[in-house]
Amino acid sequence: MKFFALLQLSLFTAATAATAPPTDQQPLRRPEQQQRLPPHPPPGHLPVMMGSSGNDSQVQPAVLLYDILGTQRSLTTFFSLTRMHESTSEPLSDAKTNTTVLAPNNIIIDDLPRKPWENPGDYAALGEQAYDGSGGKDRADDNMRKFVEAHLVVGTSPWEAGVKAKTAAGTEVWWETKTDKDGNEKRVIMPDEVVVDRVASRVANGEVWILNGVLNYA
């Protein structure tokens, strides 16, 4: 059960960091990543977070997804999950490939009945002990990687309505505009019908869309 404690601690740290001033990003970084990753952002290119008064259609050409995702207070949990694996953190700092990040907000992830590291198949095959020991940690890590991959549309941004694209997990997604009961037009990710709360940022290598739900991460 050691792993659970560790993970809960890291998620707790992320949640705590969310209430800290936005410049205080240190608690989010795990020591080994601090050494491996280049300093983001480069001096003089501080990412700017778009507030509600921000012009949402403006692209910030000097900023990468990795930089901007770390400044979004409502996405700290998702951001820490993306940084656990190179396969999911690398596209965010790759200036040559555009990615649409479909990021569920902290509350959505915290409230999931099935946690991102859990898979019903593991429980079916291994029972209650599925995530104990080092094998269990590997399984949990793998499930978290797949969870993030299901929310990264690598190679597609800008992403036009109705255009079918593949997530890094290999699932096919597209989006449509629907009108909610209050008459507001919302983007909806299909086929899972997950509502996009808003497009939070547009940067050099893609866009961050904040979701009000999670996509299928089976």
Ligand X SMILES: *[C@@H]1O[C@H](CO)[C@@H](O)[C@H](O)[C@H]1NC(C)=O
> What residue ranges bind ligand X (CB under 6 A)?
55, 57-59, 98, 157-158, 202
Nearer to ligand X, 158 or 191 (CB): 158
Closest distance of CB 3 from ligand X, Å: 38
Closest distance of CB 172 from ligand X, Å: 19
Core vs surface per residue 148-166: b (16+ CB within 10 A) or e: bbbbbbbebbebeeeeebe
Closest distance of CB 98 from ligand X, Å: 4
Instruction: Please give the C-alpha separations between residue 178 and each of 57, 103, 108, 122, 185, in angstroms, as whole numbers.
Output: 19, 19, 21, 36, 6
Nearer to ligand X, 5 or 95 (CB): 95
Nearer to ligand X, 151 or 202 (CB): 202
Nearer to ligand X, 65 or 81 (CB): 65
Closest distance of CB 88 from ligand X, Å: 19
